[in-house]
């Protein structure tokens, strides 16, 4: 389901492609899939904390995005993560914002 | 013997500015034996008569779902027409077709059509985008690219460009136009189709053309805000941070990122991975058998409108660093 619009049988996200011939995905093996999801949570969390958000895996099928005050939303994939982050915080999540880039650089 | 429909029917989108020769090209394509089993959806009947069994008229209307979710932008009537074609084919009510060509109106943005193929829960199981073919008029193309944002966006989103009316345009018009198109969309092969036989296979293979890196300096296009530029990366890329970065970038700036194409060397993967996106729609990444040449660096080519390439490069680098840190932390946690 598309978490944003609620359409059943929603989009196949490019970051979570179904394993099939010729397609690159890390969903082709349970261990690889788990490892990839854990990495995404870790990398995305380092960005999301700039907006007062934290991310966790939700039953291996989706992600749970939450504010530090507990407001939360379940998102299906990375492509829907950022619109949800903007809805929860009211902020603009812009990876080209020089302030954001400076804070990411400082976090290294 | 009962003919079976292909698992996924390839869909070619034929677009191009008003009067740029879309229907003439379509008529020539349909006259080729290679397209004998092709269905066609057109937006309006123009002056050029199409004598073809499977022409469906479509009076398009873009329906944006209430949430405003771009990935779910569906052209309602297009989806209904395609579902109907598919259903009638399944029932044997119309001749078997193995390819679909959609001719858009001259002012149309290709994105909603591509999005419809991906977002519609029925269509996405039966149809696959097979490329965007854009016609550009050799006589008026340069002025149209300058004056009409629709024309520029159609050329920028093309997988292949068909240059029309080259038989009535002089080299003084054609050469600068070709240079402009090459700078705007360096990935798209360009064919002069007015004279000589039609390169049918090349047009239909749109989207499967080999990846080309953009030479430096940037292909900035004078008088417009659109530009093509590339990011070349020496070190293998972390797929997780790349996904986090590109999804965040497209969420905020997808409407201004007309194309993104990349050939990536990913950490932990021996073979290259190709990514291909139009605005906020990114196709499923493909795993290539081998590198096209000895250059095994990752290359990303963007065509952007009113965005600063330097800022995008800087942002890419910042997220790549995050990925390296994340990988190291996880590796130590795994004990690997």
Predicted pLDDT of residue B227: 86
DSSP state of B74: B
Spatial distance between the Cα atoms of B264 and B238, rounded to a whole number of angstroms: 10
Strand partners for A53:
A67
**Nearest in space to B15 (alpha carbons), one of B155, B145, B141:** B155
**DSSP H/E element including B128:** strand B127-137
Closest Cα in chain A, distance from residue B261 (Å): 13
Residues B239-250: what's their mean pLDDT? 97
CB-based contact B275 A40, cutoff 8 Å: no
Encode B53-69: b = buried (16+ Cβ within 10 Å), e = exposed: ebbbebebebbebeeeb
- The answer on pLDDT for B131 being more than 80 is yes
CB-based contact A24 B330, cutoff 8 Å: no
Q: To which residue do tokens 């261990």 refer?
A: A31
The CA distances from residue A104 to A54, A57, A98, B28, B319, in Å, are 16, 22, 10, 54, 8
Confidence band of A8 (pLDDT split at 50, 70, 90): very low
DSSP state of B237: B
Confidence band of B336 (pLDDT split at 50, 70, 90): very low
- The domains found in chain B, sorted by start residue, are 9-204 (3.40.50.300), 219-334 (3.30.1220.10)
Q: Which two tokens stand for residue B171?
A: 């080299």
Q: How many beta carbons lie within 10 A of that of residue B303, not counting itself?
A: 30
Q: Which two tokens stand for residue B191?
A: 């064919």
- The answer on pLDDT for B25 being more than 80 is yes
- The answer on pLDDT for B334 being more than 80 is no
- Which comes out higher in pLDDT, residue A73 or A2? A73
- For residue B174, give every residue at least 6 positions away whose Cβ sits within 8 Å of its Cβ, in sequence order, or none: B138, B163, B166, B192
Residue B74 C-alpha from the chain's centroid: 17
In chain B, alpha helices (H): 22-30, 76-91, 111-119, 141-147, 149-156, 171-184, 200-204, 239-253, 309-334
Asked if residues B271 and B183 have their Cβ atoms less than 8 Å apart, the reply is: no
Q: Which two tokens stand for residue B250?
A: 């497209």
Predicted pLDDT of residue A2: 54
Mutate one of A24, A53, A94 to test the B interface: name it (highest B CB count within 10 A): A24
Residues B173-185: what's their mean pLDDT? 93
Cβ of residue A83 closer than 8 Å to a chain B Cβ: yes
Predicted pLDDT of residue B207: 58
Q: How high is the mean pLDDT of chain B?
A: 83
- Which comes out higher in pLDDT, residue B108 or B319? B319
Spatial distance between the Cα atoms of B136 and B151, rounded to a whole number of angstroms: 8
Asked if residues B227 and B220 have their Cβ atoms less than 8 Å apart, the reply is: yes
Q: How many beta carbons lie within 10 A of that of residue B15, not counting itself?
A: 27
CB-based contact A46 B322, cutoff 8 Å: yes
B128 contacts in A (CB within 8 Å)?
none
B326 contacts in A (CB within 8 Å)?
39, 42-43, 46
CB-based contact B244 A44, cutoff 8 Å: yes
Residues B87-98: what's their mean pLDDT? 88
Asked if residues B162 and B203 have their Cβ atoms less than 8 Å apart, the reply is: yes
Tell me which of B40-54, B68-82, B204-218, B271-285 is least confident. B204-218
Using DSSP's 3-state secondary structure scheme, residue B315 falls into: helix
Predicted pLDDT of residue B293: 85
Predicted pLDDT of residue B6: 82
The angle formed by the CA atoms of residues B105, B111 and B114, to the nearest 5 degrees, is 95
Tell me which of A84-88, B83-87, B312-316 is least confident. B83-87
Residues B43-48: what's their mean pLDDT? 58
Query: Looking at this predicted complex, what is its ipTM?
Result: 0.94
pLDDT by residue (tens digit) across B246-258?
999 999 999 999 9
Closest Cα in chain A, distance from residue B310 (Å): 10
CB-based contact A11 B287, cutoff 8 Å: no
């Amino acid at each position: 389901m598309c978490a944003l619009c609620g359409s059943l049988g929603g989009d196949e996200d490019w970051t979570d492609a179904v394993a099939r011939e010729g397609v690159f995905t890390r969903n082709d093996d349970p261990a690889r899939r788990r490892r990839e999801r854990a990495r995404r949570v870790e990398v995305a969390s380092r960005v999301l904390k700039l907006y007062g958000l934290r991310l966790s895996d939700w039953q291996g099928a989706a992600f749970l995005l939450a504010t530090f005050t507990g407001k939360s939303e379940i998102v299906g994939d990375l492509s829907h993560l950022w619109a949800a982050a903007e809805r929860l915080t009211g902020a603009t999540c812009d990876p080209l914002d020089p302030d954001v880039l400076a804070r990411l650089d400082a976090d290294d | 013997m009962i003919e079976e429909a292909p698992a996924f029917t390839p869909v070619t989108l034929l677009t191009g500015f008003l009067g740029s020769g879309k229907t003439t090209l379509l008529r020539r394509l349909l006259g080729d034996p290679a397209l004998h089993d092709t269905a066609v959806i057109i937006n309006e009947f123009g002056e050029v008569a199409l004598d073809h069994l499977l022409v469906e008229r479509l009076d398009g209307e873009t329906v944006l779902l209430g949430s405003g979710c771009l990935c779910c932008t569906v052209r309602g009537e297009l989806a209904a027409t395609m579902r109907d074609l598919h259903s009638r084919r399944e029932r044997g009510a119309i001749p078997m077709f193995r390819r679909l060509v959609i001719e858009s109106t001259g002012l149309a943005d290709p994105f909603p059509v591509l999005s419809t193929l991906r977002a519609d829960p029925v269509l996405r199981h039966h149809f696959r985008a097979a490329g965007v073919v854009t016609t550009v008029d050799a006589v008026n193309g340069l002025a149209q690219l300058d004056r009409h944002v629709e024309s520029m966006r159609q050329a920028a989103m093309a997988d292949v460009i068909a240059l029309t009316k080259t038989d009535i345009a002089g080299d003084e018009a054609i050469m600068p136009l070709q240079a402009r198109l090459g700078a705007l969309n360096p990935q798209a092969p360009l064919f002069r189709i007015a004279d000589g036989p039609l390169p049918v296979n090349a047009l239909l293979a749109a989207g499967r053309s080999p990846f080309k890196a953009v030479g430096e300096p940037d292909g900035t296009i004078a008088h417009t805000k659109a530009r093509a530029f590339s990011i070349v990366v020496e070190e293998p890329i972390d797929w997780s941070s790349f996904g986090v970065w590109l999804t965040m970038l497209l969420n905020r700036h997808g409407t201004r990122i007309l194309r993104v194409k990349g050939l990536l060397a990913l950490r932990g993967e021996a073979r290259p991975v190709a990514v291909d996106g139009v605005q906020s729609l990114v196709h499923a990444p493909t795993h290539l058998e081998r590198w096209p040449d000895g250059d095994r660096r990752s290359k990303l080519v963007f065509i952007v409108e009113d965005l600063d390439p330097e800022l995008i490069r800087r942002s890419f680098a910042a997220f790549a660093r995050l990925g390296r840190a994340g990988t190291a932390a996880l590796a130590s946690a795994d004990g690997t």
